A and B are shown apart, each in its own frame.
Chain A
């Protein structure tokens, strides 16, 4: 479990101003969860993510990873093994000259025995669906493929938690889907706890817990269905409402009560509309 207690983080700017990037954050993430963190730019999403593995330390409050406090230097490396991170830009996360070497990089640093390393690299390649690319040079891959390699490199270290900070922001729709599919599979089939940061509402549908951040504080939290019902607060945060949800809300307001205002997918809408004809 990751436990965040009363977390606050203050940045000081070059002009010696203090900016409260996070305030009064309380959150529990249980093993196996899929937690989505959404919010507009500047809401503190990335700052929050960086607290989960001790890349940033709280100005006040605590973050506990499996009972270890991120402030405790003795635990830092153990914590980083437990909490893997994937960032936005795939090009910044690839270090080696072949896919295989890149995935093995973390394991090599950990001093994992060669047989185990091979086994883990094979497993990671298979989970992200990139086995046939093992000998490729990373720069020949598409953005979505590179991001899957970055994910493979992290999961090869067998973390319990995977934190992804807008991993699809720089990808085209096809790459976005590839990466989303891999993340879903990691959570459902491999049991890895996922903390997924995004500003795209359609990407939080899979989560079992959604946390909406605004100005460094938790503005809303709940299941995706419940969050999407709160359309006005979401809109005021400049988050995007999927076209189909917008349509569902309007139809429901017009008296079509069989259309749930928290319809998130096209297929759901089609099912519901079929009830009427």
Chain B
């Protein structure tokens, strides 16, 4: 098992007037090579949870194991954990600070004390992974568009060669073009490099298309854990009850079912919906004949 959380609880400001329970009894296992989506309302604990996965936060109670190692026992080097598990924060472009894109992406590898040649190699590899031309290397990160800055920020994590990549709402506040671009890069990184990925997002349509497993959080708990098809179709009711949206086409079939109309267990994409509707409408036309 790559990552295991055991009865993890986390409280902000314990025993203070502003005490807030952010995580309640989280049990979670993540295998290498998984592609996971994490959904839930703002304030449900998503960001708090992911900060536990690389030791940025220490559970109030419970344990976090990475490759079998309890990361909060004495003598564990958390720096090594953070090399394994790269975390891309929300609005990561706010963290850019170097003069050139090259220096920005080289920052992590330099801190690792790598040889110059290796650093160079990693920078160009990372640029390639986020589909930025090498000519970007000498530009100032601050002269780039919002979407490009975000890709540079992503590259600066990839250059550390983490085994897992955690992305906290990587598409927030990007226009559709920038958003589609970064999502397709994340998908390509997963397909080509098999890095374990955990993606926090509010975009149900994209999540349904991209990931293999979805975690749903509500009020500090993981309330659902399953494939996109299970979550969005079999557990639709539950999602709606906590005020989360379904992908639009899934929603459409859910409404049809409520009206007693034809229903194929799990429609997630436009293609599936099209096929299913054409099949059904053809039948009904035949029957009418």
Q: List A residues at the B interface (Cβ < 8 Å).
A: 40-41, 88, 142-143, 169-170, 172-175, 199-200, 238-240, 242-244, 246-247, 250-251, 254, 256, 266-267, 269-270, 273-274, 276-277
Q: Across the interface, name the chain B residue whose C-beta is closest to A270.
A: B255
Are A243 and B259 in contact, with the CB atoms below 8 A? Answer: no
Are B281 and A277 in contact, with the CB atoms below 8 A? Answer: yes
Are A277 and B280 in contact, with the CB atoms below 8 A? Answer: yes
Q: Is B12 an interface residue when CB atoms closer than 8 A count as contact?
A: no
CB distance from A203 to the nearest CB of B (A): 12
Q: Is B170 an interface residue when CB atoms closer than 8 A count as contact?
A: no
A88 to B91, CA, bound (A): 15
Instruction: List 19 extra interface pairs beyond A174-B42, A256-B277, CB under 8 A.
Output: A40-B175, A142-B42, A169-B173, A173-B245, A200-B176, A238-B180, A242-B248, A247-B274, A247-B277, A250-B270, A250-B274, A251-B277, A256-B281, A266-B248, A266-B251, A273-B281, A274-B261, A276-B281, A277-B261
Choice from B41, B243, B255, B262 contacting A277 with Cβ under 8 Å? B262
What are 13 A-B interface contacts by the 8 Å CB criterion? A41-B145, A41-B175, A88-B173, A142-B43, A170-B172, A172-B41, A243-B205, A256-B277, A270-B259, A273-B256, A273-B261, A274-B259, A277-B261
Q: Across the interface, name the chain B residue whose C-beta is closest to A173.
A: B202
Are A41 and B177 in contact, with the CB atoms below 8 A? Answer: yes
A276 to B261, CA, bound (A): 10
Are A172 and B202 in contact, with the CB atoms below 8 A? Answer: yes
Instruction: Report, nearest first, the 4 A-B pairs whose CB atoms are least far apart.
Output: A243-B248, A240-B176, A238-B177, A41-B175
A173 to B205, CA, bound (A): 13
Q: Is B252 an interface residue when CB atoms closer than 8 A count as contact?
A: yes
| Given A238-B176, A269-B252, A273-B256, A243-B247 contact (CB < 8 Å) | yes
A247 to B271, CA, bound (A): 8
Q: Can you list, as one digit per residue, whether each of B248-289 has a CB less than 8 Å from chain A (1) or not (0)?
A: 110110011001011000000010011001101100110000
Q: Can you list, as one digit per residue, whether each of B31-75 has a CB less than 8 Å from chain A (1) or not (0)?
A: 000000000011100000000000000000000000000000000
Are A270 and B256 in contact, with the CB atoms below 8 A? Answer: yes
CB distance from B263 to the nearest CB of A (A): 11
CB distance from A206 to the nearest CB of B (A): 17
For residue A244, which residues in chain B have a CB less than 8 angstroms away from its CB?
A: 248-249, 252
Q: Is B162 an interface residue when CB atoms closer than 8 A count as contact?
A: no
Q: Across the interface, name the chain A residue whose C-beta is closest to B247.
A: A243
For residue A41, which residues in chain B have a CB less than 8 angstroms away from its CB?
A: 145-146, 175, 177-178
Are B42 and A172 in contact, with the CB atoms below 8 A? Answer: yes
| Given A170-B172, A246-B270, A247-B273, A277-B284 contact (CB < 8 Å) | yes
Q: Across the interface, name the chain B residue whose C-beta is closest to A243.
A: B248
Are A247 and B270 in contact, with the CB atoms below 8 A? Answer: yes
A242 to B172, CA, bound (A): 18
Choice from B42, B178, B180, B277 contacting A273 with Cβ under 8 Å? B277
Are A266 and B284 in contact, with the CB atoms below 8 A? Answer: no
CB distance from A211 to the nearest CB of B (A): 17
Choice from A40, A173, A270, A276 contacting B252 with Cβ under 8 Å? A270
Q: Across the interface, name the chain A residue whose C-beta is closest to B177.
A: A238
CB distance from B83 to the nearest CB of A (A): 31
Choice from A175, A239, A247, A274 contacting B42 with Cβ under 8 Å? A175
| Given A40-B176, A240-B176, A276-B281, A254-B274 contact (CB < 8 Å) | yes
Most chain A beta-carbon neighbours within 10 Å: one of B41, B172, B281: B281
For residue A267, which residues in chain B have a CB less than 8 angstroms away from its CB?
A: 255
A242 to B259, CA, bound (A): 23
For residue B255, which residues in chain A have a CB less than 8 angstroms away from its CB?
A: 266-267, 270
A274 to B253, CA, bound (A): 11
Are A276 and B284 in contact, with the CB atoms below 8 A? Answer: yes
Q: Can you list, as one digit per residue, whether each of B134-146 has a CB less than 8 Å from chain A (1) or not (0)?
A: 0000000000011
A207 to B236, CA, bound (A): 30
CB distance from B48 to the nearest CB of A (A): 16
A269 to B252, CA, bound (A): 7
Q: Across the interface, name the chain A residue whose C-beta is closest to B203.
A: A173
For residue B178, which residues in chain A have a CB less than 8 angstroms away from its CB?
A: 41
Q: Can you list, as one digit per residue, whether each of B166-201 has a CB less than 8 Å from chain A (1) or not (0)?
A: 000000110111101000000000000000000000
For residue B256, which residues in chain A have a CB less than 8 angstroms away from its CB?
A: 270, 273-274
Q: Across the interface, name the chain A residue whose C-beta is closest to B146.
A: A41
| Given A244-B248, A247-B249, A170-B173 contact (CB < 8 Å) | yes
Choice from A170, A199, A251 contacting B278 with Cβ under 8 Å? A251
